[in-house]
Amino acid sequence: MIESIAMSDVTIRIPTPLRAFTGGADEVHVQAGTVKEALDKLGESHDGILQQVTDGDGNLRRFVNVFVHDRNITALDGLNTPVPEGAIISIIPAVAGGASFKQQRLAALRREVPEVTPQEAYELQQQGAVLVDVREPDEVALGRARGAEPIVRGYLELRIEERVLDPSTPVLVMCAGGSRSLFAAEDLRQLGYRDVRSVAGGFDLWKQEGLPVEVPRVLNGEERERYGRHLTIPEVGEKGQVRLLESKVLLVGAGGLGSPAALYLAAAGIGTIGIVDDDVVDRSNLQRQILHADDRVGELKVESAQRTLAALNPAVEVEAFRERLDSGNVERIFAGYDVVVDGTDNFPARYLVNDACVKLGIPNVHGSVFRFEGQVSVFWPGRAENPGPCYRCLYPEPPPAELAPSCADAGVLGVLPGVIGLLQSVETIKVLLEIGDPLVGRLLTYDALPARFTELKLERDPACAYCGEGADFPGYVDYERFCNVAA
């Protein structure tokens, strides 16, 4: 439409930031018909300046305004705005900025949320305040304040009640530097917690001040996937799963009770499973001993167990003790285990397991089966709070042999040790996680034919030679002889 516009003499006013391109000149004179032509001329005579004003497509940059006299060209014809003779084109740098909103909010939060120094936080923690670490798992993995509860910021509102039930409990929130904890503390206050404080300087300052730090074991991605269904249970969670992974459970016997227990404990992620058994797989075992398989008849049970457990959960370390438990080796084998699962099928071994557990203070998860009946208990006289009886409190002496036949003699429904062995696994996990009410001081019996569970209360025998009050460990005995004589 516009064929040609007469060239006009125009003045371009250069702002200070662009004078580096004009050799310091505050004005440049060009001949042009439109703003675009004027700017192009400016660019031709002053290398680099055009890139400051327009983008690659020749449009005006966001940070620049151009005025012709008093009018912003955006209100006119943009870059095609014609320029009359003597026009003054002003390049106006956009001036903007400001404190970030984040900083604003933090400043406001600092006025509302009380802050404590790491030292004060440490002292409050000793007095019962709960220290919550809201950092991301990969940050926590590198170290955290000792005793801090890691709850990732994103799940804070959803999980805090699992850790802190009483809204009047003092809660100290910690992050890396003290900013995220302010936001998190505010959320907890909104949720109803009345005494929430933010640790100023966060974990970085905590560490710098030499306050106690621990490097926790955290789950890797594969573990997170494998144990996902545990992680969603509040009573287990990551902390509990880590505890299981760091636990050591010894199974005495890889038979009817030991088989289901071993499989489920390995599946649950018990870090180390010891198995004591000197026997080989017999075809008659396979009716109930599901650790083993038909093609392994004649193989050592501990080796068969190792193969089965490795296939189920290769991360589990299986310590195989191919030996018969006796007074001479029992303490060496039991040493370092957190729980012993008694899956023995004879009285001498059962008394030996009991005596060693009493001496070493290890909880003894007991199970036994007979045809259609089974029983489970946790013998734990060494328990710190509410200790229970030991096996000898119940049975100071073994019953006569004719009243206590072995599986081989009496027979057993193959499924039954499955039920009892699994109850032993459940009790083992409860003991390890310190959750629920383990069968300490209680005997749970299961009678399959009427389908009935019965619970019997077991009392400690204060006169028990092994775990009674003030009793000195009387020593191991000749268990074969003890049982035969008693019989």
Partner 1 sequence: MPESPDPRPVPRLLLCPAIGEWLADAARSGYPREVCGLLVGSRSGAATRVERAEAATNLEEERAADRYRLDPRAFLAIDRAARRDGLDVVGVWHTHPDHPAEPSSTDLQAAWPDYTYLIISVAGDETVHLRAWELVDGRFVERPIVSQHAADRAAAGRNESANTHP
Query: In terms of CB distance, is 41 or 46 closer to partner 1?
Result: 46
CB of 95 to partner 1, least distance (A): 4
Q: Pick from 23, 221, 314, 470 the residue near partner 1 by CB under 8 A.
A: 23
Task: For residue 431, give the nearest of 382, 360, 369, 374 by alpha carbon.
Answer: 382
* Comparison of 67 and 466: residue with beta carbon closer to partner 1: 67
**Region binding partner 1 by CB under 8 A among candidate stretches 94-102, 248-256, 319-327, 439-447:** 94-102
Q: Which of residues 356-395 bind partner 1 (CB under 8 A)?
A: none
Judged by DSSP in three states, 157 sits in helix
Q: Which stretch binds partner 1 (CB under 8 A): 9-17, 177-185, 257-265, 472-480?
A: 9-17
Partner residues linked to 65 by β-bridges: 92
**Non-local CB neighbours of 76 within 8 Å, separated by 6+ positions:** 68
Q: Is 463 in the site for partner 1 (CB under 8 A)?
A: no
Alpha-carbon distance of 328 to 326, in angstroms, equals: 5
Q: Are 479 and 325 in contact (CB under 8 A)?
A: no
Q: Which of 99, 158, 384, 451 binds partner 1 (CB under 8 A)?
A: 99
3-state secondary structure of 318: strand
Provide the residue type at 450 as one letter: P
Distance between CA 467 and CA 460 in Å, rounded?
8
HEC states along 221-288?
HHHHHHCHHHHCCCCCHHHHHHHHHCCEEEEECCCCCHHHHHHHHHHHCCCEEEEECCCECCHHHHHC
* The only residue of 43, 93, 271, 468 in contact with partner 1, by rule CB under 8 A: 93
CB of 87 to partner 1, least distance (A): 14
Helix (H) or strand (E) holding 452, with range, is strand 452-457
- Residue 20 makes contact with partner 1 by CB under 8 A: yes
Ramachandran angles phi, psi of 275, nearest 5°: -130, 125
315 binds partner 1 (CB under 8 A): no
Is 177 a binding residue for partner 1 by CB under 8 A? The answer is no
- Judged by CB under 8 A, the chain residues 62 through 81 that form the site for partner 1 are 63, 65, 67, 70, 72
Out of 56, 97, 128, 328, the residue judged to bind partner 1 by CB under 8 A: 97
In the range 106-165, which residues lie near partner 1 by CB under 8 A?
107-108
Task: Pick the piece of the chain touching partner 1 (CB under 8 A) from 59-67, 136-144, 169-177, 421-429.
Answer: 59-67
Q: Which is nearer to partner 1, 93 or 271 (CB)?
A: 93
Options 58, 84, 92, 191; binder of partner 1; rule CB under 8 A? 92
Contact residue for partner 1 among 98, 128, 210, 475 (CB under 8 A): 98
Footprint (CB under 8 A) of partner 1, residues 413-452: none
Q: How many CA atoms lie within 13 A of 63 on its CB side?
A: 11
CB of 110 to partner 1, least distance (A): 9
The burial of 88, by beta-carbon neighbours within 10 Å (0-12 exposed, 13-18 middle, 19 or more buried), is given as middle
- The single-letter DSSP state of residue 384 is S
Integer CA distances (angstroms), 294 to 254, 279, 302, 331, 343, in order: 15, 16, 15, 34, 22
* Closer CB to partner 1, 27 or 478, in the complex: 27
Provide the minimum distance between the beta carbon of 5 and partner 1 in the complex, in angstroms, as a whole number.
24
Backbone phi, then psi, for 57, in 5-degree steps?
A: -90, 5
Q: Residue 70 or 402: which CB sits closer to partner 1? A: 70
For residue 158, what are its two tokens? 């959803």
Would you say 84 and 8 are in contact if contact means Cβ atoms under 8 Å apart? Answer: yes
Do β-strands 373-379 and 364-370 pair in parallel, antiparallel, or remain unpaired? antiparallel
**Shortest distance, CB of residue 96 to partner 1, whole angstroms?**
4
Q: Could you tell me how many residues of this chain bind partner 1 (CB under 8 A)? A: 30
The nearer residue to partner 1, 107 or 463, going by C-beta atoms, is 107
* Per CB under 8 A, 1 contacts partner 1: no
Among 5, 31, 82, 90, binds partner 1 (CB under 8 A): 90
Scanning 21-29, 205-213, 353-361, 466-474 for contacts with partner 1 by CB under 8 A, the matching segment is 21-29
Which range in 8-16, 150-158, 200-208, 260-268 contacts partner 1 by CB under 8 A? 8-16
**Which of residues 104 and 386 has its CB atom nearest to partner 1 in the complex?**
104
What DSSP state is assigned to residue 60? B
Burial (0-12, 13-18, 19+ Cβ within 10 Å), 154: exposed
Rounded least distance, CB 187 to partner 1, Å:
21
Q: Which is nearer to partner 1, 89 or 171 (CB)?
A: 89
Q: Alpha carbon of 351 to those of 252, 304, 330: distances in Å?
A: 12, 27, 12
Stretch that binds partner 1, among 17-25, 211-219, 270-278, 383-391 (CB under 8 A): 17-25
CB atoms within 10 A of CB 404: 18
Q: How far apart are CA 268 and CA 16, in angstroms?
A: 70
- Candidate list 1, 2, 3, 16; residue touching partner 1; CB under 8 A: 16
Name the minimum Å distance from CB 200 to partner 1.
16
Which stretches of the chain bind partner 1, using CB under 8 A?
13, 15-17, 19-21, 23, 26, 48, 63, 65, 67, 70, 72, 90, 92-101, 103-104, 107-108
